[in-house]
Structure 1
Amino acid sequence: MLLALAILLVFQCVGEGIAFLSGWPIPGPVIGMLLLFASLLAWPRLHELLEQTATQLLRHLSLLFVPAGVGIIVAAASGRGQWLAIAVALVCSTLLTLAVTALVMQALAGNPKEPDDA
C-alpha cells in the first residue's frame, strides 16, 4: 500500500512540476492524472499494483470533503449581510449558464431536416 501511495504522489508531484515549469493554465494534479492514465495504458501491471490502494481511497473519499465543508461554514460568517448579493449572483450565473448551454447545444445540433409529408 505504501508503494502505491508513493506512486500516486510521484505522479501528482510530476504533474505539479510540469504545470509550474511550463506555465500552462492546467492544474498540476490534472496533468499528473493524465500521465498516470497514460502509464496505466502502457503498463497494465501498474493497474494491479494500484488497484487495492485506489479502492481504499475511493471508499473513504467522503472524509476528504470534511475540511472543505468546515471552510465553507467558517467563511459563511464573513458573508453576513451579503446574502442578497450572493443570491442575485447565483440566480444570474445559473440563468446565464443555462442560456449559453442552450445556444451551444442549438449550434452543435444544427437545423434538423423537416420530415416530408407523403
Structure 2
Amino acid sequence: MNLTSLALLLVFQCLGEGAAQLLGLPIPGPVIGMLLLLIAFLSSPRLAELMEPTSWGILQHLSLLFVPAGVGVIAAAGQLRGELPAIVVALVASTVLAIAVGALVTQAAMKWLGKSAPPASDASRESH
C-alpha cells in the first residue's frame, strides 16, 4: 500500500465533508468525496492507475471496517429493543429496494452497452 494514495483518499473525504458542511447538503461527506474522486479518476486515468494497488489492499481488509459498527450495535442493543419492529421493517424494505434498484440499473446498463439478457424461459429450462 502506498502512503500517498491513502493520504489522497483522506483528502478527498475531507473535501467531501467540507463541501457537505459549507453547502448544507443532505448528502454524507464521504459520498461527495467519492464523487469528487471519481471525477478526478475520469479526468486523470493515471491517477486511477496509481491508486489501484492501494484500493485493492483496502478492499482485501474491508471486513475489518465493520467491526466497530458491530460493536456499536451490540453496545446499543438495549436502546434498540423498543425500535425493533421499525428496524426490521426498514431492513426488509431497504433490502428489497436495493435489489430492485440493482436489477433496474443492471438492465439499463445492459441496454446501454447493447447486450441482452437471456430469455427467462431459457434460464428456467437450464436450471431443471
Normalised by the length of structure 1, the TM-score is 0.70
CA gap of 1:11–1:77, structure 2 versus 1, over 3 A, is: same
Name the aligned partner's letter for residue 4 of structure 1.
Answer: S
User: Which one has a bigger Cα radius of gyration?
Assistant: 1
2-structure distance, mates of 1:37, 1:78: 38
CA gap of 1:91–1:59, structure 2 versus 1, over 3 A, is: closer
Task: Please state whether the residue corresponding to 2:51 is helix, strand or coil.
Answer: helix
2-structure distance, mates of 1:79, 1:60: 29
Partner residue of 1:33?
34
1-structure distance, mates of 2:9, 2:88: 39
Large movers: runs of 4+ above 6 Å: none
CA gap of 1:28–1:92, structure 2 versus 1, over 3 A, is: closer
The one-character-per-residue Cα deviations of 1:55-108 (angstroms, maximum 9, x if unpaired) are 00000000000011111111113345x3xx623x3465557x97xx8xxxxxxx
CA gap of 1:74–1:47, structure 2 versus 1, over 3 A, is: same
Unmatched 5+ residue regions in structure 2?
A: 101-128
2-structure distance, mates of 1:2, 1:47: 15
CA gap of 1:77–1:15, structure 2 versus 1, over 3 A, is: same
Partner residue of 1:58?
59
2-structure distance, mates of 1:40, 1:18: 19
1-structure distance, mates of 2:5, 2:88: 44
Unmatched 5+ residue regions in structure 1?
A: 102-118
Partner residue of 1:78?
79
What number of residue pairs does the alignment pair up? 95
Name the aligned partner's letter for residue 74 of structure 1.
Answer: A
CA gap of 1:71–1:48, structure 2 versus 1, over 3 A, is: same
1-structure distance, mates of 2:22, 2:59: 30
Alignment of 1:1-118 (within 5 A): 1-79=2-80, 82=82, 86-87=84-85, 89-90=86-87, 94=92
CA gap of 1:91–1:73, structure 2 versus 1, over 3 A, is: closer
2-structure distance, mates of 1:29, 1:13: 8
1-structure distance, mates of 2:78, 2:58: 32
